[in-house]
Amino acid sequence: MGRIAALAACALLAIAVAATVRLAVADHLFRAGNLDALSRAVRIEPGNAQYHAWLAEYQEAEGLDPDPALAEASRLNPLDSTVLIRRGLRAEFRNDFAAAGKLLLEAARVDHLFDPRAALANFYFRRQQPEPFWQWTREALRVSYGDLTFLFRLCWRMTSDPAVIQARALTPDRRVLRQYLRFLLDENHFEAAPQIALQLAGMAEKDDTEVILGFVDRALPAGDPQLEAWNKLCARGLLPLTPARSGALTNADFRAPVTSRGFDWRLPATDEITAVPLSAGGVRIDLSGKQPEQTELLAQFVPLAPGRTCHLRFEYQTSGFPAESGVVWKILDVASPALSSSGPKPMDIVFSTRGASLGRLVLGYGRASGATRLEGSITLRDLALDCAP
């Protein structure tokens, strides 16, 4: 009995060694990565679904029919959604749309992640079937990851109505809304951006701030005072500023770091002009004498109410400025006298908003004819804007 048991053990060991060698050979052929080697790997290990799937890849690349290998891969591993999607796309290519839809739906049934749902959205877009397109686009966005631009483009090709897209496709997910808002700005669908920006701003976190500021910065030069989106960022503590309000300056005392965004002050992007906030409030602007002949030293978009009389009040002092310094405040159609004073000097600039709901306040410099470029500094304190009916 002992000898029989030993012989049986040896036989089992031989079988195991042979199986191990066979698997090793098949794996080596699989890793060789060519059609002939993969065909041999499949013959050695016909029950390996992955080998059949890769064989189909190489067959298709060589212009051969990959469908039998794909079908066998599905039979061996019916939960592989990637193979089901490939089979569905192959069926669609053959104009067998019923089989294609069935295979893609099966992929979505066995795999609840993004790829099968995106494949179905694409399929129904190509078939121009709006109802299932919107259903599967929304499903795809609900579990989405990565760059979603291609899905947003399909939405806009299906309809040019942003309200339909928002109602039928979008989900209330910050990441989706953030990507969609960036898409709207990049693809020049600005008319659809305000509602998305407001929705996102109401739930915004730090990584949403940049795209919302991009929206506000795009709106303001066009004369659209997007106060609500900006103020929601301020209220959520994502900007170090108090909310902007009509007829008032933002960050008037320069105590918060200047962002050069939205309703905050904007500083020139040149080393020849520097702005230094003062610890007691206010700012000193230094000009090197090499700055451009026409340039802005400070600027701010100011929300206004139509039909108001406004006073821009401030105290200033200059160093090294001649009487005709070329430095003036401008807002709407009103400009101040040239600013030049060796001692502290208050000033009150009066203007009417008329029909304006937004103004751009600019402290600008323009070199006077025959004068050298200005070199020196101006200090501004106690800036305030007061508007009354």
Q: What is the CATH number of the domain that holds 279?
A: 2.60.120.260
Return d(Cα 97, Cα 88) in angstroms, integer: 9
- Cβ proximity of 257 and 263 under 8 Å: no
Q: How many domains does the chain have?
A: 1
Region for residue 335 given its phi and psi (left: phi exceeds 0; alpha: psi -120 to 50; beta: otherwise) = beta
Long-range contacts of 32-41 (CB under 8 A, 24+ apart): 34/58, 35/59, 35/62
- By the 8 A CB rule, do 265 and 299 touch? yes
* Domain contains 39: no
- Asked whether 322 and 316 are in contact (CB, 8 A), the reply is no
The pLDDT of residue 17 is: 38
Q: Which residue range(s) make up the domain with 347?
A: 273-388
What's the pLDDT score for residue 3?
A: 61
Instruction: Give the span between the Cα atoms of 301 and 265, in whole angstroms.
Output: 8
Note whether residue 381 is domain-resident: yes
- State the residue for tokens 């020196």: 376
- 291 in a structural domain: yes
**Tens-digit pLDDT string for the chain (389 aa):** 566 655 444 444 444 333 343 434 334 444 545 677 777 777 788 778 888 888 888 888 888 889 998 998 899 999 999 999 999 999 999 999 999 999 999 999 999 999 999 999 999 999 999 999 999 999 999 999 999 999 999 999 999 999 999 999 999 999 999 999 999 999 999 999 999 999 999 999 999 999 999 999 999 998 888 899 999 999 999 999 999 999 999 999 999 999 999 999 999 989 999 999 999 999 999 999 999 999 999 999 999 999 999 999 999 999 999 999 999 999 999 999 999 999 999 999 999 999 999 999 999 999 988 899 999 999 999 999 999 87
- Cα gap 143→131, rounded to integer Å: 19
In 3-state terms, the chain is what percent helix, strand and coil (to 5)? 50, 20, 35
For 294-312, the three-class secondary structure string (H helix, E strand, C coil) is EEEEEEEEEECCCCCEEEE
pLDDT for 19: 36
pLDDT at position 149:
98
Domain assignment present for 361: yes
Count Cβ atoms within 10 A of the Cβ of residue 167 and give its class: 0-12 exposed, 13-18 middle, 19 or more buried: exposed
Paired tokens of 69: 């290998």
**Interatomic CA distance for residues 257 and 253, integer angstroms:** 10
Residue at 246: amino acid letter: S
pLDDT value at residue 49: 82
User: Residue 358: inside a domain, yes or no?
Assistant: yes
How does pLDDT run across 54-100, given as a tens digit for each residue? 888 888 888 888 999 899 889 999 999 999 999 999 999 999 999 99
d(CA 267, CA 200) in angstroms, rounded, equals 28
- Nearest CA to 201 out of 171, 237, 251, 168 is that of 237
Contact indicator for 337, 378 with CB cutoff of 8 Å: no
Residue 249 makes CB contacts below 8 A (sequence gap 6+) with 300, 302, 361, 383, 384, 385
The whole-number pLDDT of residue 193 equals: 97
Q: d(Cα 288, Cα 383) in Å, to the nearest integer? A: 24
The answer to whether residue 151 sits within a structural domain is no
Q: Check residue 50 and give its pLDDT.
A: 87
Sheet holding 273-277, edge to edge: 273-277, 283-288, 375-388, 309-319, 345-352
Is 58 within a domain? no
Identify the residue whose tokens are 């821009």. 312
Domain assignment present for residue 368? The answer is yes
Task: Say what the pLDDT of residue 62 is.
Answer: 83
Hey, which bits of 40-142 come out as E strands? none
